[in-house]
Amino acid sequence: MRSTALAALAATSLLALAACGGNAPAPDASGAAAADAGAAPDANAPDNAPHVSVIDPVIKLPAVAGAPGVLYFTIQQDAGKPNTLAAVHVDGAERAEMHESKTENGVTSMEPVKAVEFSEGKPAEFKAGSYHVMLFGIASTVKAGKDVEVTFTLANGDKVSTFAKVEEIGAMEGMMDHM
Ligand SMILES: [Cu+2]
């Protein structure tokens, strides 16, 4: 019984993740320049964007080894002009892509997004069924219980660095996320 349930879960995760990865290449080609620009900002930009903070960053490891993981968090600001999150870097992940899950006619799909806006009183929430950051090529050193450095780059070049907790993905959580 147990192995059947696990196999079903694995199959579900793989299907969802395959769909996710299948969508990635096309926007990637055009978005590569933008991503590079985000990764190499003005050297004079402050390391911590003024008035911007990241709440509860959590990395969920994949249920299947080698599959993508996911990063959830909320990014907010307490003053100043609206901001745009342009890129996310996670230590120990080869690639971190911002995605948005959408449900239309009962079908959930996800697409890469290049920019997510937030402003005072309107934080951007990265959570199951919504925006999330997909993590590809996760190193074996990224394990449950560890803290991993995560850097958020804004469109203006400002950055915010913090540490994310690493957790195993819960079976139900994994299902919900991809249903
Ligand atoms: Cu995704």
Q: How far is the CA of 124 from the centre of ligand 1 (A)?
A: 16
**No. of helices (H) and no. of strands (E), the chain:** 3, 10
Q: How far is the CA of 44 from the centre of ligand 1 (A)?
A: 32
Token pair of 72 as six digits = 């959830």
Q: How far is the CA of 106 from the centre of ligand 1 (A)?
A: 17
CB 86, CB 135: distance < 8 Å: no
Q: How far is the CA of 111 from the centre of ligand 1 (A)?
A: 7
pLDDT over 80 (residue 30): no
Q: How far is the CA of 133 from the centre of ligand 1 (A)?
A: 7
CB 152, CB 75: distance < 8 Å: yes
Say which residues have a Cβ less than 8 Å from residue 150's Cβ, sequence separation at least 6: 54, 57, 59, 71, 73, 88, 89, 90, 91, 161, 162, 163, 164
Token pair of 108 as six digits = 């959930």
Domains in the chain with CATH codes: 2-177 (2.60.40.1890)
83 phi, psi to nearest 5 deg: -120, 165
Q: How far is the CA of 160 from the centre of ligand 1 (A)?
A: 22
Instruction: Summarize pLDDT for 121-173 with one digit per residue, the tens.
Output: 999 999 999 999 999 999 999 999 999 999 999 999 999 999 999 999 764 55
- At residue 20 the predicted structure's pLDDT band, cuts being 50, 70 and 90, is low
Q: How far is the CA of 24 from the centre of ligand 1 (A)?
A: 9
168 phi, psi to nearest 5 deg: -70, 145
